[in-house]
Amino acid sequence: MVVEMAFTCIETFCGAGGLGAGLKKSGFKLLWAFDKNEQAVTTYKNNISTKASVEDAAKLKPEILLKLAGINKRELVLLSGGPPCQGFSRQKRGGENGDKRNRLVVKYIRLVQGIEPLFFLLENVDTFKKKRGKAYLDLLKTGLENLYEIHVKEINCADYGVPQLRKRTVVVGVRKDLGIEYKFPTPTHTNNWVTVGQALKGIPEPPDDGSEHPNPNYPNHCVPKVTNINLERISYVPQGSGRKCLPRRLQLPCHKKKTGWPDVYGRMATDKPAPTITGGFDNFTRGRFAHPYHNRPITAREAAILQSFDNNYKFFGNKGQVRQQIGNAVPPLLGRALGKSIIDAIRLKMKQQEEIAPVTSFLEVAIGG
């Protein structure tokens, strides 16, 4: 009889724990996690696991990470993570060459090389596989293709139940000696995306004075500060529209041009998923971030819900730090789908191996080298 071993995981660049929350729900045992952001690690520790530390990936050696996790090289099932993606974003000018954070992809490659997990999982913005990130994606392939079968896919998070149109590039590597055939998870919501109205249904209104909602089941639920003139501006905007609906007297000079971002001063529509949630979600001058019914931006709690975090998932830090944690997070529902697809691939191989050699555990052989 085959004894199923734990599906172990180390998280790199864990942030506030969006990917970790999903991987944990899919069945992974999180051995260790790290991030350079102290407040994000505090959030991670308070919601997912205390086995996390503040580390600089540029200085962290693979053997130190293995020691923290209590395992040896080639024993880990999954090394996951999303190196900071702002340098590859469409909103970042000169991103492919001008942002030092892009080089952390190289550090991630070295961690994979030093740990040699059965699988690795990397998540980044959709432009990572296009012009802005292609050089780094090619570098990842060159550095790891001798050991891993590498699978790359652009994913729309809305296809997996996330109430948000958020496109991401996902890279999954499978160690070649395993003989595992990996397939990305089949979309579950292609024709029935979860809408803003469905996601925010039943969420109580936050206090008008900007204080936290008194119900502890809704942490980080407070109204962002907005100027009176911006409150007047957003009052004219219907659901699904933006700056073009403003009266001329309230338009800024940039609004009167035909070019520019049409979603600024925008209001979400209840019958569609939200736009991509960024770190600027509490300011509708930066995008379509106004509440569908109320003349205010969405709160941090509402943004987290639109990222598919549980209602009571609490974020730590000041308001700006919380905004960035939420905006940078991997939606947990996407993490769960990806984690399940990896576990399913391993279990299928274990089942096949059991039919050949019933007394031998496939995972025992795999991590034994």
Per-residue DSSP letter, 360: S
In the chain, what is the greatest distance between 2 CA atoms, to the nearest angstrom? 78
What is the C-alpha to C-alpha distance for residues 220 and 310, in angstroms, rounded to an integer? 12
Per-residue DSSP letter, 178: G
> Strands 78-81 and 119-125: what pairing?
parallel
Tell how far CA 302 is from the center of its chain.
16
CB 274 within 8 A of CB 194: no
At 136, list the tokens.
């780094």
Laid out side by side, the sheet with 148-156 consists of 52-54, 29-35, 8-12, 78-81, 119-125, 167-175, 148-156
CB 168 within 8 A of CB 154: yes
Short-list 346, 250, 231, CA closest to 296: 231
Task: Give the Å distances, CA to CA, from 37 to 42, 109, 246, 277.
Answer: 9, 20, 39, 20
CB 71 within 8 A of CB 368: no
Respond yes or no: is residue 85 known to be catalytic. yes
CB 79 within 8 A of CB 121: yes
From the list 85, 222, 245, 254, the catalytic residue is 85
At 66, list the tokens.
């293995």
Per-residue DSSP letter, 290: B
Short-list 32, 31, 86, 29, CA closest to 55: 32
As annotated, the active-site residues are 85
